[in-house]
């Protein structure tokens, strides 16, 4: 599997991709999923892929050599929308060639892509391309896209990233998002490709290949884990069956009707006598509400 995230900010773009692929627990490999299409001074575009590796590699090859009947290519597209249409056409080309053969072997045509960048004369743009070749564009209401194992790293991005976020803060957030995913899913793995693009540069401005020895990423992993634990321990425990006038850490009150759905005992079964602890809880908050 994989995890990739792309962010579109006022200051530029951030792209982060892992490099693990697997076809079972004993067939794990490393393949880079972030590719750059760059003509310095004219355009800088980034493609990240998730899904079937053979499909995504074939699509990438078609994109680089595609020429439409009108002579349009990824290298002369007038804007990012036109360039993304070429990416979508490449997806449909490979689908037409391969989907039927793959289906004979029970393999789905499974691919998703994040494509973004800047062409001279327009702003930075970011797109999500589906396996049908259609796509959507990122706007201020949703300044990022994820593909692959997205769920583990989504909460931190939702809480932090806006179009006004700086490139360094966005890169830091992307790395924390990746760390959460690495921790929770073994199908995502190092090394990572991180590319940070400054608006108007029309060339790659910052790029790093991150492995397990990278000092900053190791620091983030340690500090983030420690700070999460510290914040967790700093939150007070909940108060159960609190007095009606209690206002702090109240999870439940004695006045509220908090009852689970209980299944009736079978006919003929005698209910056991409640324990002293259960009797105490049922009598009210006299001892538990004082905190």
Q: Flag whether 78 is in a domain.
A: yes
Q: Flag whether 25 is in a domain.
A: yes
Total domains in the chain come to 1
Q: Residue 30 — very low, low, confident or very high, per pLDDT cuts 50/70/90?
A: confident
Do residues 158 and 151 touch, judged by C-beta distance below 8 A?
no
Average pLDDT, the chain: 92
pLDDT at residue 192 in the model:
97
Q: What is the tens place of the pLDDT at every residue in 129-157? A: 999 999 999 999 999 999 999 999 999 99
Q: Flag whether 261 is in a domain.
A: no
Q: Flag whether 237 is in a domain.
A: no
Q: Flag whether 71 is in a domain.
A: yes
What CATH number should be reported for the domain holding residue 49?
Answer: 3.60.20.10
Check the CA dihedral 125-128-133-134 and report its sign.
negative
User: Residues 6 or more apart from 203 whose CB is under 8 A from it?
Assistant: 38, 40, 41, 44
pLDDT at residue 282 in the model:
61
Q: Flag whether 247 is in a domain.
A: no
Tell me which residue range forms the domain holding 149: 3-212
pLDDT at residue 2 in the model:
92
- Alpha-carbon distance of 28 to 109, in angstroms, equals 20
Is the peptide bond preceding residue 191 cis, with omega within 30 degrees of 0? yes
Q: Flag whether 8 is in a domain.
A: yes
- Describe the crossing of helices 215-234 and 167-184 by its angle, rounded to 10 degrees: 80
Q: Residue 177 — very low, low, confident or very high, per pLDDT cuts 50/70/90?
A: very high
pLDDT at residue 280 in the model:
62
Q: Flag whether 206 is in a domain.
A: yes
Provide the 3-class DSSP secondary structure of residue 35. strand
Average pLDDT over residues 41-63: 97
């Amino acid at each position: 599997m994989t995890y990739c995230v792309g962010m579109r900010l006022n200051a530029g773009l951030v792209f982060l991709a892992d490099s693990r692929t697997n076809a079972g627990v004993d067939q794990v490999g490393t393949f880079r999923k972030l590719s750059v299409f760059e003509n310095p001074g004219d355009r800088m575009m980034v493609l990240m892929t998730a899904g079937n590796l053979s499909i995504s590699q074939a699509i990438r090859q078609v994109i680089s050599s595609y020429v439409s009947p009108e002579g349009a290519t990824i290298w002369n597209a007038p804007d990012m929308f036109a360039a993304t249409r070429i990416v979508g056409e490449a997806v449909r080309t490979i689908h037409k060639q391969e989907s039927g053969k793959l289906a004979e072997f029970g393999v789905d045509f499974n691919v998703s892509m994040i494509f973004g960048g800047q062409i001279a004369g327009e702003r930075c743009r970011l797109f999500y391309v589906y396996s049908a070749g259609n796509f959507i564009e990122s706007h201020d209401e949703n300044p990022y896209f994820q593909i692959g194992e997205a769920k583990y790293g989504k909460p931190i991005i939702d809480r932090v990233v806006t179009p006004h976020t700086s490139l360094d803060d966005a890169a830091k957030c992307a790395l924390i998002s990746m760390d959460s995913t690495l921790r929770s899913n073994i199908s995502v793995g190092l090394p990572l490709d991180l590319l940070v693009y400054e608006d108007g540069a029309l060339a790659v401005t910052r790029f790093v290949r991150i492995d397990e020895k990278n000092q900053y990423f190791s620091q983030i992993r340690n500090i983030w884990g420690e700070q999460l634990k510290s914040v967790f321990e700093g939150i007070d425990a909940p108060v159960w069956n609190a007095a009606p006038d209690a206002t702090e850490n109240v999870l439940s009150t004695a006045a509220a009707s908090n009852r689970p759905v209980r299944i009736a005992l079978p006919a003929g079964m005698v209910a056991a006598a409640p324990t002293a602890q259960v009797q105490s809880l049922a009598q009210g908050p006299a001892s538990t509400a004082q905190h």
